[in-house]
Amino acid sequence: MPVKVGDTAPDFTLPAQTGSTVSLSDFRGKNAVVLYFYPKDDTPGCTAESCAFRDQYEVFKNAGAEVIGVSGDSRESHQKFAAKYNLPFTLLSDKGDQVRKLYGATAAFGLFPGRVTYVIDSQGIVQYVFDSMFNFQGHVEEALKTLQQLVK
């Protein structure tokens, strides 16, 4: 079953591009999390999406949220991708797509890893899910709208 609005976001621990490990529970009680699953580092759509998150990163931080990107790429691939595009947020390596499967952010068209963004409040509850393979900017815009409504 895919994770949906109102669900408690499943906890996980994955390696980050920095070499540390990150758990979703690290943010509980502290920050909202914008968790976005994307297919592959350094591809046109994923680069556009990640750079859109980068360009709005301070707005997300000011809204009390941390941005975290997840794909099946290696930590080393994430390091190169983050450095190349000056991405200020965490990228997590989900080898084998275990966390992607846990969230139900599986294949688009039955072929490619899906592109799904979850807005998770500071208590760990999913407040919004945006699933679109091609509306890269929409992932950022919808996440920001949701966060701004949570702050009100």
Total number of domains in the chain:
1
Residue 7 within any structural domain of the chain: no
- Average of per-residue pLDDT across 100-114: 77
3-state secondary structure of 52: helix
Give the pLDDT of residue 11: 97
Catalytic amino acids?
A: 46
Say how far apart CA 26 and CA 20 lie, in whole Å. Answer: 12
- Is position 120 within any domain? yes
Provide the mean pLDDT of the chain.
91
Is 103 a domain residue?
yes
Q: Which of 43-47, 104-108, 120-124 has the highest mean pLDDT?
A: 120-124
Rounded to an integer, what distance in angstroms lies between the CA atom of residue 91 and that of residue 94? 10
| pLDDT for the residue 120 | 97
The DSSP code sequence of 114-144 is: --EEEEE-TTSBEEEEEE-SS-HHHHHHHHH
* C-alpha span between 59 and 34 (Å, rounded): 12
User: Which tens digits make up the pLDDT trace of 111-152?
Assistant: 667 789 999 999 999 999 988 766 677 778 888 898 888 765
Domain harbouring 109, CATH code: 3.40.30.10
- Is-contact 49 80, C-beta < 8 A? no
Is 85 contained in some domain?
yes
Report yes or no on 14 lying in a domain.
Answer: no
What's the mean pLDDT in 35-42?
94
The pTM (predicted TM-score) of the whole model is 0.93
Position 20 in a domain: no
Torsion of CA 151, 62, 132, 6, to 10 degrees: -30
Domain extent, residue 65, equals 27-151
Is there a domain that residue 3 lies in? no
pLDDT tens-digit series, residues 68-92: 999 999 999 999 999 999 999 999 9
Cβ pair 65, 34 in contact under 8 A: yes
**From CA 139, how far away is CA 142, in angstroms rounded?**
6
Note whether residue 16 is domain-resident. no
